[in-house]
Structure 1
Amino acid sequence: MQPFLSSIDTWIFDLDLTLYGPEANIMAQVRDRIALFVERYFQIGSDEAHVVRHTYWKKYGTTLGGLMAEHQLEPHGYLDFVHDVDMSLLQPAAGLRALIEALPGRKLIFTNADAPYAERVLAARGLDNLFEDIFDIHRMKHMPKPTPASYDALCAELAIDPSGALFVEDSAHNLAPAKALGMTTIWVNYDAETDSSDTEHFVDHEIADLTEWLSAIHSLESTT
Structure 2
Amino acid sequence: MTNLPTKTDFSHVRDWVFDLDNTLYPHHVDLFAQIDRNMTAYVSALLDLSREEARALQKRYYHDHGTTLKGLMIHHGIDPLDFLEKAHAIDYGVLSPDPDLGEAIRALPGRKFIFTNGSVKHAEMAARALGIFDHFDDVFDIVAAEYVPKPAGATYDKFMALHRVDTLHAVMFEDLPRNLLVPKALGMKTVLLTPRDAGHEFADAWEKHSQEDIHIDYTTSDLTAFLNALR
Corresponding residue to 1:203 among 216, 223, 229: 216
Partner of 2:83: 78
SS in structure 1 at match of 2:93? coil
After TM superposition, the structure 1 = structure 2 runs for residues 84-123 of structure 1, keeping only pairs within 5 Å, are 84-123=89-128
> Does 1:10 find its partner at 2:15?
yes
Which has the higher mean CA deviation after the structures are superposed, 31-40 or 44-53?
44-53
Q: Which string of whole-angstrom CA distances, capped at 9 and with x for unpartnered residues, describes residues 89-135 of structure 1?
A: 10000000001000000000100001011100011000122110101
- Give the whole-Å Cα distance in 2 for the aligned partners of 1:164 and 1:78: 35
- Give the whole-Å Cα distance in 2 for the aligned partners of 1:49 and 1:126: 35
The one-letter code matched in structure 1 to 2:62 is W
> Does 1:37 find its partner at 2:37?
no
User: In 2, are the aligned partners of 1:5 and 1:104 still within 8 Å (CA)?
Assistant: no
The one-letter code matched in structure 2 to 1:210 is L
List structure 1 segments (4+ residues) > 6 angstroms apart after TM superposition: none
Q: Which string of whole-angstrom CA distances, capped at 9 and with x for unpartnered residues, describes residues 121-160 of structure 1?
A: 0110001221101010011111111111101111111100
Q: Could you tell me the TM-score, scaled by structure 2's length? A: 0.90
- Give the whole-Å Cα distance in 2 for the aligned partners of 1:133 and 1:33: 26
User: In 2, are the aligned partners of 1:12 and 1:108 still within 8 Å (CA)?
Assistant: yes
> Does 1:59 find its partner at 2:64?
yes
The one-letter code matched in structure 2 to 1:58 is H
% identical aligned pairs: 36
The one-letter code matched in structure 1 to 2:172 is F
User: In 2, are the aligned partners of 1:137 and 1:143 still within 8 Å (CA)?
Assistant: yes
> Does 1:141 find its partner at 2:146?
yes
SS in structure 2 at match of 1:198? coil
Which runs of no fewer than 5 residues in structure 1 stay unpaired? 219-224
- Give the whole-Å Cα distance in 2 for the aligned partners of 1:30 and 1:116: 13
The one-letter code matched in structure 2 to 1:204 is D
SS in structure 1 at match of 2:16? strand
Q: Could you tell me the TM-score, scaled by structure 1's length? A: 0.93
Root-mean-square deviation over aligned CA pairs: 1.3
Using CA pairs under 8 Å that are at least 6 residues apart, name the structure with larger relative contact order, 1 or 2: 2
Alpha-carbon distance, 1:162 to partner: 0.2
Alpha-carbon distance, 1:45 to partner: 1.2
The one-letter code matched in structure 2 to 1:198 is E
User: In 1, are the aligned partners of 2:120 and 2:141 still within 8 Å (CA)?
Assistant: yes
- Give the whole-Å Cα distance in 2 for the aligned partners of 1:196 and 1:41: 36
The one-letter code matched in structure 1 to 2:230 is I
- Give the whole-Å Cα distance in 1 for the aligned partners of 2:127 and 2:161: 25
